[in-house]
Every structure is written in C-alpha cells, then in structure tokens.
Structure 1
Amino acid sequence: MELFTDRVFIFHRFVLLTLIISFVAYFDSKSAVKDFTLIAGGPEEIAVDQAGYRMEDQKDFRIGRYVEGFKILNEKNDVVFRGKVTGPIHDQFADADVWKGEFTELKIPGTYKIQLSDSICSWTFKIGNDIYFTLFQTLVRGLYVSRCGFAVKDDAVSHPPCHLHDADTLLINGKRIPDGRDATGGWHDGGDYWRSTMSASQAISRILWPVELFPGAFDKVNPLLLPKERWGNRPDIITEAKWGLDWLAKMQSPDGGVSTGIGPAVFHMPPQLPPQYDPVRHLIGAVNSSHTAKTGAVFARAARILKSYDQQYAESCLVRARLCWKFLQEHPTLVAPKTNNVYGRNEDATDRIWLAVELFRTTGDKRFNDDFTVRFKKLDSAYPKAPVSTQTIRNYNLHEALISYCFIKIGADKAIQEKILAGLLGDCDRMVAGSMAEGYGNVLQAESWKERHTNGNALQMAWELAMAAELTGEKKYREVALRQLHFVLGANPLGKVFVTGVGSNPVRNPHYRPLSIRNLAPPGLVVKGPTHDKDYVREAFCGTPPPPEKSYTDLYATHWCNEPDIEVQGQIIGLAAYFFATALNSSH
C-alpha cells in the first residue's frame, strides 16, 4: 500500500509540474519572434554545418549580410585559410540576400571556426572523413531512446520498461475485443507514446538502405549500445532495425494482416510524464491493408538484407512478407475499419506496388514482377509528383518503390526502369535548380513551407537525390543532397542545429515527453523544423511571423516545429549512414 501511495504521489507531482511547464512555455512561445530574431554580431548568423565537412566535399558557409572577407582559424587560433564571399543570392524563404564563403580547398582534418572581417566568429566545426560516422552513431542512439517496453539506459532519459500491460484489447468499428497477444516493443512514434506500424516501417526501411548499398560498411563500427541491448555482435544499426521488426511481427495476425499499431481509442495526448507513468489506456488497432502492404515490403527488404547477419531470421521475415501478400490477394480492395487513434491510411494502391517490388527484388519470382507491371501501368506517370502534406513523410512510399525497382539487375522490365529513371532525374533536376536559386540551398518550395515536417520532407528529397547519384554517378545530385543535411545541422538562417546534442547550438527543448525525467534532451533527436503551418503561426507569434526558414522556436510547447518523429529519425540516420559509407568508398 505504501508503494502504491508513493506512485500516486509521484504521478500527481509530475502532473502538477507538467501544467506549470506547459503554462510557462505556452506564454513564452508568444514572444518567440523577438527570441529568434537574429542580431548581427553572434555566431548564429554564420550558417555553417556544426557537425562538420568531409575532406573532399564542397565546404562553405552562408551569411545574410556582406563582409569584406573571412579567415578560417584552427584550435590554436592560427589562420589556415583566407577567402572572400561571393553573392548575393536572394533566399525568398528567409527573406534575405545571402553571401557565400567557400573553403573547399581546406582538407586538413581538425576543428575550426570562421572569423569574419569584422571579427565575428562562427560556432566550431570539424573537417574529417569520420564526421558522419560520429553523427550517425548519435542518431541511431536517438532512435534507441524511444524504445517502448524496454529498460532504456541514458544519461537524460533512463527509465524502466514501460507500457507492458496497456494494450490487451483490439478495437474494430467501435467494438472492443479481448486480445491476448504480447504487444510490447517498438518505438514511441515521437513526442507521444503511441506506436504506429506505418511509422515503424518507414524508419526501418530507410535505415536498411545504406546497409544494402554498402555491404559490410557498418560491421566494424564500434557499438554504442550495451551488450545486453544489442543483437549479438551485430552493428547498432542492424540491432535497432531488428528491434522494430520484432514488434511489427507482433502486430501481424495469423492471416497475414497487420494492425495499425497501439494507441488510444480517441485522440488524447498523454501529459508530460515519463513513459512508465503514462495514464492513457492504449488499444490495439485493427488490421489495415495499407499498413499490411508497408510492413510486408519492409519484411521483404529485411529478408534480403539481413540474411548475411542471420539466415534463419531473414527467412522468417520472408515468411511474414509472403503472409502479407497472401492477405492482400485475399482482400483486393481497401481494408480500413474504424479503429484506434494512430496514423491510418484510406488508400493502399501505391503500398501494394511497394510490396510487389520488394518481394520481386528479394525472390526473383516473376508473379511479383507481373503484379508490379500491371499496377505501374495504372499510374498517372512513370514517376508521379509526391503529395505536399505533413503526412507525406510517413504515409507515402511510391517513390521508394519505384527507385527500388530501378536497382533490380535481373528480370526487371528495362523499359519501365528507363521511364522511372527519367522521371526521377527530372524531379532531381528541379530540386537542384530550386536549391541553387535559394541562398541557403534548401530544396523546399513555397507549398512545402506551409506544412509541418519540413526537415523530414527535405531529407526525403535528399534521399531521392542520393539515390539518383547512385544510379547515374552524377555528382550534382549528391552535393545537393548533402546541402540538405548541412541545413539541418546548422547551415540555415537561424544557425540552429535541428538535432539534440549535436554542435554548439542544438535543439534543447524538444516536444518529447521523456524530457520530463530529468529535463534534459537525449542526443540525436531530429525535430520537425521551421514552418509556416497555420496553427503554429497563429499560436506562436504575435503580428507578422518571421519568414518560413526562420519560423521556429526551441520550446517544448511548440510541437508544430519541435517534435521528433521516428520516420524522420530513420531518414536522417539513413542519410548520415550513406555519407559515412561513401566516405569509405573511394569510388565516391
């Protein structure tokens, strides 16, 4: 009884603390314009990637005013490079004329800072080919800390296993059905404690791409996870993928259908409490055909990629992928009953394409290629334009499916591959042109800045550019892809690193409920990023808001721009891992 009383007391303390913090943060957010208006004279006005630059890559900084020249100083404050700025190029989304200072010729590993002719200095940054190794390890750690049902060990957000008994009921069309499955595992989707199979599938797929493109590149990477947290001696990136896959397996019914995931019956966000004190009752979502296709595609990818790490486990993934296929063959139209409040989708045609592609790529079975071909011919074009939406980063996989088809070397329809590649390159050329036309080099256009997840959408485009580079060898695509990573890591008009624990000016107050454990952010969480989302602009700013690229506040209350999500976490892990691996590969 004493233990129960103590827990209730602790719970009430957390609720009271949450209300106080939220009240203060909300009203503080109303003054965000003045808090984030840059004044000339601070390091944040020098837009530089605070993680650093690889030795052979283009290196530059951006600044929203003219300066006579600049120097690069090493750790001893010795001048190692001098240069002049060029420009300006107007950036419409920062509403600024932007000058560029290039120092690509500096290729000596070390830690540096930029000093302008008026003596203002930048944040420090590194040059070296291990830059993205360190970054991607930190980012994988950022996914690990969102594990559910696990005793997370971390300086900021350690907690005992959570949500062990709260999902014992299935919800279908308003009817609650007892369900005895073990629903533990997976990752919390973002700042909340829901768990979506759609979100998990996106994250797993993206972190597996560099593993497949560069076999063995991660096998000798020193792990950050503890021995009991890892899958044997396998790399952390593989361990984390398996953690997600194991939970997806629990969400699959015997007939092959996959649940939407774990969430409340109606939209209800938990208070700012540690996960073990979450009072919200979660239910198991009904089977959804879109989620089934996405999960099946990821199982098929895992079966192909993980066979060198564990043949038996890879075979089990293929069995599950085939079960998803069987379910969808038996249910040729959309299956999407009303269910719990996690991310759902009322369209599955493009997801079925993705499943067919991955099964064909893994097995070589002609029937999967035939199914893909029939569905491909029904598309509006060979490479349809992606929808502009906040949800695109989590529910749209058509481009991934089409790009994956282009990597198939045996048995694929060459004419279709050529059409897809032409469409991809057309898209990528427009991205390159758009990036070059803006002073800070972001690929997003006006309509995208009205949505949330601007970092996620830009990183998705960066991934497409990187894949175009892999398929063609065109350097320009890789450079613009890397520019998007630079933007997220500090080379933006706020001089802000949109990742916790990276660089000198990182995100410190993400909308992340485990923050309540010690009021500290764990390293490696990427947040949504600047936005002109109408709700955010209305709630966060008084009067005219700043331009889109500056429309950001580092406050817990501003979830519109400052919440992490595992889909975007998967994207930035995949991209950082890609650039780490290409640094090891002399052909790049």
Structure 2
Amino acid sequence: MTPFKHTFITIIALVAQLLPCIQAQVQPTTTYQPPPIASGNVSSSSSSNKVNARWSQLLGNALYFYDIQRSGTLPNNFRVDWRNNSVPNDGSDVGLDLSGGFFDAGNYIKATFPLCWVVTQLSWGGMMFGKGFDDSQQTAYLDSTLRVALDWLMTASSKQDEMVVLIGSDDFYWGGDQNIPTNDRPSYTITREKPGTDVFGSCASALTSASMLYAGTPLPISTTQNGTVASLQDANYSTTLLQRAETLFDLAQSSTPQQVYQKATKGVAWAYPSTDYADELVLSSTFLALATGNQTYADYAQKTYATNQFPFPNGALNWDQHTSATPVLLTQLSIARPSMGVSMSKYQTDSEKWLDNIVNKNMPQTFTTPGGLFYFDGDSDSASLNPSLNAAFLMMVYRRMASSTTKDRGYRSFAESQIDYALGKNPMNTVYAVGIHNNSAENPQSALASGGTNPKLIDTVPAQEAHVLYSGIVGGPDQNDNYYDQRSNWEQTEVALDSQSAMIVLAAHQLTTNASDPFYTGMTEERVILPYDADGGGGGGLSTGAQIAIAVVVIVVVLGLLAGLAFWQRERLRSLIRRRRFEKYEKS
C-alpha cells in the first residue's frame, strides 16, 4: 500500500469515527444562560415548575463553567460571548491537533490525569442520577462537556502505544485568551517503552465509564434498584470509546515497568504528580468488567485489589487518589453482574470502612474545622473543598447500597453537611460557587476571567473581575474556616475542572431525590470579607498585623523581613497558577 493511500484510508476512518458523535450529539431546546445572581435567593417554591429551580440553576451554571474553560476553535454562536479561539498549535510538536479540550484551571495548561477523573466522575453520576440532568434540561450540556473532553482524550491517545499527558509548562503568563504564548507549550508523552501506568489506567476508566453512559447502561443505586441514565445514548460512539479503553488498559496492565507517569517523562511533576497506580488498575478493570461482562477483567480487578492490600481505611478521594472508590465500584459490579461471583458483602464491608471512619471522625490525619468542613491534613491544605466534596460524592453514590438504613442516613447527612458548607453554611457566610448568590466568592484566580495582564497587580487591577466564572468552585477556606477572597491566593481561590465535577454530580443527585433548596437560598447574613492580606491570605505568609507587631519591637528586624518578603513575593508570582496540590511526591 502506498503511503498516500494509507494516509487517505486513515483519514476516512477517523472521519467515520467522528460522524456518530456529530450526528447524535444532543442539542438543547433553548440555549441556557446563567440567570442573574439575585435569583439564587428566590425559593424554588415560588416557581410553578416541579423541578427544583435552584438546584437546576446550580447544575446549569456549573456546566457553563466548562464552556468558559474550552480551548481551540469555538463553535459559531458560542454561548460564552467573551471567549475567543485560542492555542491553535497545541499538539503540533507531536503531530497531533490538540487545540481543543479544556484549560485545566486558572492557568492555560492541559492536564490529562485530572481530566480523566472529571470524565469518570461525570459519567458515573450520569449513570445513576441522569434524571437530574434530564429534568433540569442540562443533558445536552453534559453531552457537549463530555464530548469535548473525550474527543481530546481520543486524539491524545491516537498514536499507537503513546499518549499525551500534559501540554504547557510552569512558565508564568497572566492575561486573556488571545495572547497566550504559543512558543512554550510542549506536549509531554508516555509510551509503552516509557509507560505511565496511572494515566493509561485512568484514561481507560474515563473512556469505559463514558462508553457505558453512551450505551445507556444504568448503574445500581441500591441492591435492588438501578439508577437513571442521562438521555444521550449513542451506540456507535460508545463502541469507539470502549475499543480505545481496552487498548489503553492493555498498555497499563502489560507495559513494564509499571510506574507513575512522572517517572516516565520529565517536566510534568510540578503540576499533577501521581502517588500510585494500583487504584487506577482496579478502577479501570472494574469499569471494563461492568461494560463488557468479561470475567477476566473482574478477576484482574479483585486480584490487584487484594495484592495491594486494599481497602485503605483512610486517605482523601481526589484527582490522584481513587483507592476509596474501588470497593464502591466493585459493590456495584457485584449487584449489576451477579454471575461474576464478586462478593457483595465483602465490598460493602470494605466500602464502609472508609465511609464510616469519616462519618464517625475516626480517620487518622483528619479533623472537622470549627465551622464543619471535613479536612484531610495535607490534601486539604490547598483546595480544601476538593476532597470534602469528593467524599460527599462517594457517599451519595454508595449510600443506598449500605448495609443498613442507619448508615444510609448517616452518609447522606454527612454529604449534605459538606454541600451546605460549600454553599454558604460556614463562618464566612460565603458561597464558594462563583456567581450563584450575592454572597458568592468574587475573586477566583483565573487568567481567563480576571481581565488583568500584570501579575504584580493581580489583586487590584482590575478592581473587579472582568468576567463571572459562573458556579466555578473555588479552592476553599483554611483549617480555621478563614477565606481570603483575593486572586493571588491560589490555594484558596483557584478554580479547576476537577473541583467542578463533584458538585455537578451532587447537584444531579439532589435534583433526582427532590432535595430542598441549596443552603444559600434565603440567606440574609452578609458575607464576611477578611482584610486584604498582601502575603496571600491563607497562603502562609506573614500577616500585616504580625509585621506591625514586629516593627514595634525592632525596626531593624522589620527592614530585614521586608527585604526577604519582597524576594519571596517575587518568587510567589511565578507560582500563582501552578496547581501543585500534592507536594509530597518522589522526584524521578
């Protein structure tokens, strides 16, 4: 076969794969736009619509956030009218068009590892609480969000035995989407020869779970009842996703050495360093067992689970650590496919070890803040709401499969306490979802939305952010419930794709179960705004008060401290957009 003929056939095959996606994509009946912020304070009972208006608004705004984060060439009549086409050359250094997808957080990198968890989480929720998406008329936007992510992941993994895991570097850029430097956006890859077991496995989970969603496969919500599936079925797309997922799982399972991806490729550990890969192997093989009915996958999942001495009764659930989710999914496998011989009672017991430790406050290295936020020491030090809402997500997924009604009620009560905290029931009276209520946080760290171009004036220019990051979930308060609403304080104010997905699933759950309005509806207390802190608020620098106190004691020491602070702050500016959420990793 000539090279030209081979290339032509390859192009035709790729187009054929994409056609089902384009033809079957769900279209909204009307274009959703976030309503005025003041509407967040209007009770749903005032509406004639039987669907809770406030949870629908939160869900709609939260999916709108993903459109804000879109990259590449945007569709005509794109609903976020202030966004522009961007980064057209992403992936060109490795011969791929990776201009699409999503910008990861407040910066402009694209990161495969956390994106895979976003897709997995949204798909998982869509197979259990799909009625919430349908009833709120947000299924079309769930579909478009998933397809943008999935199509990017399919392209990133389209070369044989290779996958792109990161685009961009830690070089600082603060500005809008039209002037993003394109000369320093390298593509980092893993291969069969230099594998990243965790990312191969995580992407297999993402594609398999999405394949099940597009196949219309429900997941159990109890030992006797299936959940509802969002109405976005597309059999051809489902098959395409599943085939790629099996290929990626083979890479994860058979490539040697099995290792975390930052050991395979230099230059990625600064952003999303991974701690392990066994959890990804168990999760991906369990999803594949659910999707295919292949006993080999179920046996592999259980063997890997046992070999690695799962379950772990502690540790957070987040973009990196999925160990606590593995027994929950295995419980669902035991219910959905009883012929596979997976012990429901074993994985129920294992699931509840982690869940009970949280509810009963017995988990090591965790505590509850004075205001009620469940805090994982280390994991919650930056983006504290992320592990809290992920814990709530897993409790809502599992609760009706629990071994007793008492546990069911306990898990839901805990989950709702964390949702309430994030949505205003906290000492700051702050709603940590942007643009949903008058008490919402107002200064999320986002180069896209801020309107500023000078990192030295990040907190003051402009005085008010140029654009609203609707329902973007900010990082969250510190261990004392203090929240400094300033852009330079990335640990507390940065938004991210993976901080969003848990809240979306939780909102869909609340809609499906006819929950009462979000906590912020009817709030009258004013938001507590802490004084501006030039040292980055919760970021760990000296407070203004402390500096004054030192000045009273000895002016010479103050001068020395200020000199040191100036240098430290200069270095801090370079790290404002770095998502170093997990500092404890072994450098390769």
Q: TM-score range by the shorter chain?
A: 0.5 to 0.7
Task: Tell me which moved more, 476-485 or 415-424.
Answer: 415-424
When the two chains are superposed, the root-mean-square deviation of aligned CA atoms in Å is: 3.1
Write out per-residue CA displacement over residues 32-75 of structure 1, whole angstroms, 9 at most, x where no aligned residue.
Answer: xxxxxxxxxxxxxxxxxx957xxxxxxxxxxxxxxxxxxxxxx8
CA separation of 1:503 and 1:584: change in aligned 2, threshold 3 A = closer
Aligned partner (choices 472, 488, 496) of residue 565 of structure 1: 496
Distance, in Å, in 1 between the alignment partners of 2:44 and 2:178 is 48
Q: Which residue of 2 aligns with 1:583?
A: 514
2:165 maps to 1:260: yes
CA contact (8 A) 1:466 1:481 kept: yes
2:75 maps to 1:135: no
Q: Offset at 1:349?
A: 1.9
Aligned partner (choices 216, 229, 245) of residue 321 of structure 1: 245
Q: Which residue of 1 aligns with 2:297?
A: 368
CA contact (8 A) 1:145 1:157 kept: no
Q: Offset at 1:415?
A: 6.3
CA separation of 1:339 and 1:346: change in aligned 2, threshold 3 A = farther
2:148 maps to 1:243: yes
CA separation of 1:155 and 1:246: change in aligned 2, threshold 3 A = closer
Distance, in Å, in 2 between the alignment partners of 1:51 and 1:393 is 28
Q: Offset at 1:444?
A: 2.4
Distance, in Å, in 2 between the alignment partners of 1:505 and 1:584 is 22
Secondary structure of the 2:187 match is strand
Aligned partner (choices 456, 459, 470) of residue 523 of structure 1: 470
Distance, in Å, in 1 between the alignment partners of 2:140 and 2:375 is 34
In structure 2, runs of 5+ residues without a counterpart are 1-38, 191-195, 217-232, 452-464, 517-588
2:320 maps to 1:400: no
Q: Which residue of 1 aligns with 2:416?
A: 482
- Counterpart of 1:348, as a letter, is Y
Q: Which residue of 2 aligns with 1:226?
A: none
TM-score, normalisation: structure 1: 0.67
Write out per-residue CA displacement over residues 81-132 of structure 1, whole angstroms, 9 at most, x where no aligned residue.
Answer: xxxxxxxxxxxxxxxxxxxxxxxxxx99249xxxxxxxxxxxxxxx983331
Aligned partner (choices 293, 307, 310) of residue 215 of structure 2: 307
CA contact (8 A) 1:198 1:343 kept: yes
Distance, in Å, in 2 between the alignment partners of 1:51 and 1:423 is 39
Aligned partner (choices 188, 202, 205) of residue 297 of structure 1: 205
Task: Tell me which moved more, 395-404 or 522-531.
Answer: 395-404
CA contact (8 A) 2:431 2:439 kept: yes
User: Percent same amino acid at aligned positions?
Assistant: 17
Distance, in Å, in 1 between the alignment partners of 2:151 and 2:158 is 14
1:223-242 alignment to 2 at 5 Å?
A: 223=138, 235-242=140-147
Q: Offset at 1:160?
A: 1.7
In structure 1, runs of 5+ residues without a counterpart are 1-49, 53-74, 76-106, 112-126, 170-178, 224-233, 533-547
Write out per-residue CA displacement over residues 374-407 of structure 1, whole angstroms, 9 at most, x where no aligned residue.
Answer: 11111334x213435xxx6221122223211111
2:404 maps to 1:468: no
- Counterpart of 1:302, as a letter, is A
- Counterpart of 1:425, as a letter, is E
Q: Which residue of 1 aligns with 2:257?
A: 333
Distance, in Å, in 2 between the alignment partners of 1:157 and 1:557 is 26
Q: Offset at 1:430?
A: 3.0
Distance, in Å, in 2 between the alignment partners of 1:155 and 1:320 is 31
2:147 maps to 1:212: no
Q: Offset at 1:556?
A: 1.0
CA separation of 1:313 and 1:155: change in aligned 2, threshold 3 A = closer
CA separation of 1:377 and 1:437: change in aligned 2, threshold 3 A = closer
- Counterpart of 1:395, as a letter, is D
Q: Which residue of 2 aligns with 1:502?
A: 436
CA separation of 1:520 and 1:317: change in aligned 2, threshold 3 A = same
Distance, in Å, in 2 between the alignment partners of 1:326 and 1:362 is 16
TM-score, normalisation: structure 2: 0.67
Distance, in Å, in 2 between the alignment partners of 1:414 and 1:301 is 21
- Counterpart of 2:181, as a letter, is P
Q: Which residue of 2 aligns with 1:457?
A: 387
Secondary structure of the 1:549 match is coil
2:97 maps to 1:182: yes
Count of residue pairs brought into register by the alignment: 427
CA contact (8 A) 2:253 2:281 kept: no
Q: Offset at 1:478?
A: 1.1
Q: Offset at 1:512?
A: 0.4
- Counterpart of 2:143, as a letter, is I
Distance, in Å, in 2 between the alignment partners of 1:130 and 1:193 is 33
Aligned partner (choices 181, 188, 200) of residue 279 of structure 1: 181
Distance, in Å, in 2 between the alignment partners of 1:161 and 1:394 is 28
Q: Offset at 1:347?
A: 3.1
1:405-424 alignment to 2 at 5 Å?
A: 405-408=330-333, 409-411=336-338, 416-424=343-351
Q: Offset at 1:448?
A: 5.1
Secondary structure of the 2:433 match is strand
Q: Which residue of 1 aligns with 2:107?
A: 192
Q: Offset at 1:566?
A: 0.6
Secondary structure of the 1:506 match is coil
Distance, in Å, in 2 between the alignment partners of 1:491 and 1:156 is 30
CA contact (8 A) 1:156 1:522 kept: no
Q: Offset at 1:372?
A: 1.0
Distance, in Å, in 2 between the alignment partners of 1:157 and 1:509 is 20
Q: Offset at 1:167?
A: 3.3
Task: Tell me which moved more, 404-413 or 141-150.
Answer: 404-413
Write out per-residue CA displacement over residues 386-445 of structure 1, whole angstroms, 9 at most, x where no aligned residue.
Answer: 435xxx622112222321111122147666432332132233233223499876433325
CA contact (8 A) 1:131 1:580 kept: no
Distance, in Å, in 2 between the alignment partners of 1:128 and 1:494 is 30
CA separation of 1:414 and 1:549: change in aligned 2, threshold 3 A = farther
